[in-house]
Amino acid sequence: MEFKDLQREGGVRWRLRLVCVFLLSFLHPANAQVRYSIPEELKIGSLVGNVAQDLGLDLTRLRSGRARIVTGENIQYTELKADKGTLIVNERIDREQLCGDATPCSFTFEILLENPMELHPVTIEVLDVNDNAPTFQTNHLEFEISESAALGSRFGLESADDKDVGQNGLQNYILTPNDNFVLKQHVNPDGSKYAEMVLQKSLDREEKPHLSLKLLAVDGGNPQKSGTVLIDINILDANDNAPVFNQTIYKAAVTENAPKGTHVITVNASDIDSGLNAQITYHFSKSKAGKTDLFDIDETTGKIYVTKEIDFEKDKKIEFRVEAKDQGGLTDSSKVEIEVLDVNDNAPVITVMSFNSPVSENSPIGKTIGIINVKDVDSGENGQMRCRIEGNVPFKIKSNVRNYYALTIDAELDRESVSEYNITLVCSDQGSPILSSKKSFNLQISDINDNAPVFLKNMFNAEVNENNSPGVSILTLCAKDSDENQNARVSYILEEKQIGGSPISEYLSVNSESGVVHAVRSFDYEQIKEFVFVTRAQDGGSPPLSSNVTVKILIQDQNDNTPQVLYPVQTGGSMVAEMVPRSADVGYLVTKVVAVDVDSGQNAWLSYKLQKATDRALFEVGLQNGEIRTIRQVTDKDAVKQRLTVIVEDNGQPSRSATVIVNVAVADSFPEVLSEFSEFPHDKEYNDNLTFYLVLALAVVSFLFITCLVVIISVKIYRWRQSRILYHSSLPVIPYYPPRYSDTLGTGTLPHVYNYEVCRTTDSRKSDCKLGRGGSQNVLLMDPSSTGTMQRIQSEKSILDELDSPLEVMKIYRWRQSRILYHSSLPVIPYYPPRYSDTLGTGTLPHVYNYEVCRTTDSRKSDIKYGRAGSQNVLIMDPSSTGTMQRIQSEKNILDEPDSPLEVS
């Protein structure tokens, strides 16, 4: 039957009760017990009530608190719709299955909310509907009654069982009309009803030996339901007296879990008849026969024994009736009440309602990480519990609500010390013996970025040799972070710093992942001797944490620098001599060779040795100080000109050395020295090794010269063939412009660039002339028919190649330009040597001369280096060299005259 049908058929009282419950729930919105009444057998999904409204909770709180129903029952009859705040039927509710005969019938559960934890008890009363008809355990009863049975004799009938209660339960028994028996109904103290047949008219076996009656049991529901049982009565011969029990009620007690065969109580009845009619047998009454399944009765002695295990949690008190029957079929009945005594046979049951794992290591003290329900179905002290946590762990258990415990954090957590906990909860009752249960939880601690990376050393030191290869690994930095995952991922960062005006990143780099320090460039100890910088180790947390460490890298010196002679100064064109008087004694300090080595350590330890000397017996060199001293008395026979070759050598591996030549004049006056050194011929002493290298160089140069000559001839032949092809071709000519040749003004005359280098030796009256030609090509574009002009140019080139004077070259060049322009009607691309430019674009080149004149002491001739660049004419020479100045001036005048090549020659 549905809920609407029940309202329509008289559920006014139920509605009033429901309204009262709703009012009570509104008056106590928090932590108040809400009670609903619903009929049994409602359809799944039927509405029970709006629990959010009745408890005064909004839907947001239900969702944020993860509202849910907690119940210790195996079946969850209702479901909470947290999004609507309503309770609906989740499972079929059978009141008879749920409560049996108990009335009123209800079940209770809690609605659990978290953060903060709230527990709201909800009780649902299940109203009975008439869904069960009265039933008899058997459908057939047999009686044997003596015909001499006295009027008023009672015969107990089997009680019907109706699982419904109240108005829907068993209401009446109806016996089919007959002449001999009437029905008497009785009510037990527990409210149950049973019936007896009472003999109202004597039986006559001869008249009617057998009677068949029908007993009908009806309930008070609408529509009314009923059950029937057939009664067969066999009429026996006379037995005038029925057995009689000596007690109306028998009471006993038995402990639960009593072993099979345990004696509970003995019932006793007597019959004043004699003989067989006085023999009595004992039987359990058919009324509530289901309860007697736990016991057995001795038919002869009336002793009652335990036959099955008795559970206090199911039956706290057992009642049933016992019948005494004589041989004549007369009976009497008595009630037996057995109280079941509880024993501590149930350990606490631990149920985890919620458990949060992992938890962050920075969780506050007092935070709830789990909710546990603990129940013990025993009673009294057997059901009283204590819970504790085993071991020394930073957690505690406390009871907030009946049977509910909160597992909370009791101390600060540190994942780096302990990353997980095995929490063991022990709950014990107070019975005897004590029973306990354990529940273990594995709690993982999640990491937060609370630890900065830590370097393994307070300072890192390393050494690297100078002249290292770029990219070489110097050292590896290592930092550890005790966090985990991304929080422990360490990156290495080089802090910015200036070294010599340049950022340190131009010298060193740090691999961000491995911490390996690499050299970006090759180091020079003489420039930088050490690097001191800071490297930061930063983890990948949010926000990131970091720590710094100082790194010191020392540059190790290598012997990569030769000693440098500071004194005596070696000049290229003049000769410096130290004077030693002929009266000098032994140990006379002639001079001191002063040298330095920019290396350090033993690489800079210098030693001095005398390699060559005009007279080795006259001078010696101090090994450590470089002092040149006489080792004997100077005599008149000693030559005026003394030449010493001193080697300065460092102590490196391998060692490096430098050579210095010291000229010593053994004389007493300066004029004597000048006269001797003015006639000093060219030094003819050559080192044997130097001679070998000069010969080898001459051979190589000769080979290269011959090779270049062959290449030049091949190129000339190729270009001549190309000119012939162009001459006979009718296609347009694409001229070739050597690199850096351009006609900037569009006039056909290109800017000109010349480079001349002229060197004269001291032992020759001839000049070496080196003529450089940009792009190594001379280009002239003209009419192909101008064969005569081509011949003239070729002849002029031959003349030009034979000249060895820069003045002659310039003269020939100017004459050739005028001739080409005169005879050719086409634009001419003349050849201009590099670095010689026509800045005005007029075709006439401004000339800039630089002269460098050096006069030697052993020749009257001048060495002239003739170059063109800049805007100055510089002449450096001996003021007494008037002849040289005149020669240079005359050459300059000749150059400025526009004349023919013949005049130049």
Average pLDDT over residues 175-200: 87
Query: What pLDDT shows up at residue 687?
Result: 53
Q: In 3D, which of 866, 846, 627 has the Cα closest to residue 758?
A: 866
pLDDT tens, position by position, 546-599:
999 999 999 988 888 889 898 888 775 556 678 888 888 888 998 999 999 888
Out of 517-531, 766-780, 784-798, pick the least confident: 766-780
pLDDT band at 65 (very low <50, low <70, confident <90, very high): confident
| Residue 879 confidence (pLDDT) above 50 | no
Structural tokens at position 855:
């006069």
Question: Judging by beta carbons within 10 Å of its beta carbon (0-12, 13-18, 19+), is residue 310 exposed, middle or buried?
Answer: buried
Tell me the percentage of the chain whose pLDDT exceeds 70.
Answer: 73
Pick the CATH number of 349-446 from 3.10.20.30, 3.40.50.150, 2.60.40.60, 3.40.50.880: 2.60.40.60
pTM summary value: 0.47
Average pLDDT over residues 723-729: 64
pLDDT band at 237 (very low <50, low <70, confident <90, very high): low
pLDDT band at 620 (very low <50, low <70, confident <90, very high): very high
| Residue 825 confidence (pLDDT) above 80 | no
Q: How many CB atoms lie within 10 A of CB 751?
A: 19
Hunting for tokens 């991304």 — which residue is that?
Answer: 486
| Residue 746 confidence (pLDDT) above 70 | no
Q: How many CB atoms lie within 10 A of CB 323?
A: 22
pLDDT band at 888 (very low <50, low <70, confident <90, very high): very low
Locate CATH 2.60.40.60 in the chain: 29-127, 140-236, 244-341, 349-446, 454-556, 564-674
- Output the average pLDDT for the chain: 76
| Residue 536 confidence (pLDDT) above 90 | yes
Query: What pLDDT shows up at residue 60?
Result: 85
pLDDT tens, position by position, 448-495:
988 899 999 999 999 999 889 999 999 999 999 998 889 999 999 999
pLDDT tens, position by position, 71-118:
766 688 888 888 888 999 988 988 888 887 777 888 888 888 888 888
Q: What is the CATH number of domain 244-341?
A: 2.60.40.60
| Residue 730 confidence (pLDDT) above 70 | no
Task: Write the single-letter amino acid at 723.
Answer: S
Structural tokens at position 658:
């430098």
Query: What pLDDT shows up at residue 312?
Result: 84
CA-to-CA distance for 740 and 836, rounded, in angstroms? 12
Query: What pLDDT shows up at residue 634?
Result: 87
Query: What pLDDT shows up at residue 727?
Result: 57
| Residue 357 confidence (pLDDT) above 60 | yes
Pick the CATH number of 29-127 from 2.60.40.60, 3.75.10.10, 2.30.30.100, 2.170.120.12: 2.60.40.60
At the top level of CATH, the class of 564-674 is: mainly beta
- Architecture of the domain made up of 140-236: Sandwich (2.60)
CA-to-CA distance for 431 and 457, rounded, in angstroms? 62
Distances (CA, A) of 135 to 127, 174, 213, 245, 384: 21, 14, 17, 29, 41
Query: What pLDDT shows up at residue 837?
Result: 40
CA-to-CA distance for 656 and 669, rounded, in angstroms? 39
Query: What pLDDT shows up at residue 144?
Result: 87
CA dihedral of 5, 10, 14, 20, whole degrees rounded to 10: 120
CA-based radius of gyration for the chain: 66
Query: What pLDDT shows up at residue 515?
Result: 93
Pick the CATH number of 454-556 from 3.30.1330.120, 1.20.1250.20, 2.130.10.30, 2.60.40.60: 2.60.40.60
Query: What pLDDT shows up at residue 702?
Result: 92
Q: In 3D, which of 593, 567, 590 has the Cα closest to residue 580?
A: 590
Query: What pLDDT shows up at residue 826?
Result: 38
pLDDT tens, position by position, 4-27:
333 333 333 434 344 333 333 333
Average pLDDT over residues 384-404: 87
Task: Write the single-letter amino acid at 402.
Answer: R
Structural tokens at position 582:
């002929």
Query: What pLDDT shows up at residue 682?
Result: 44
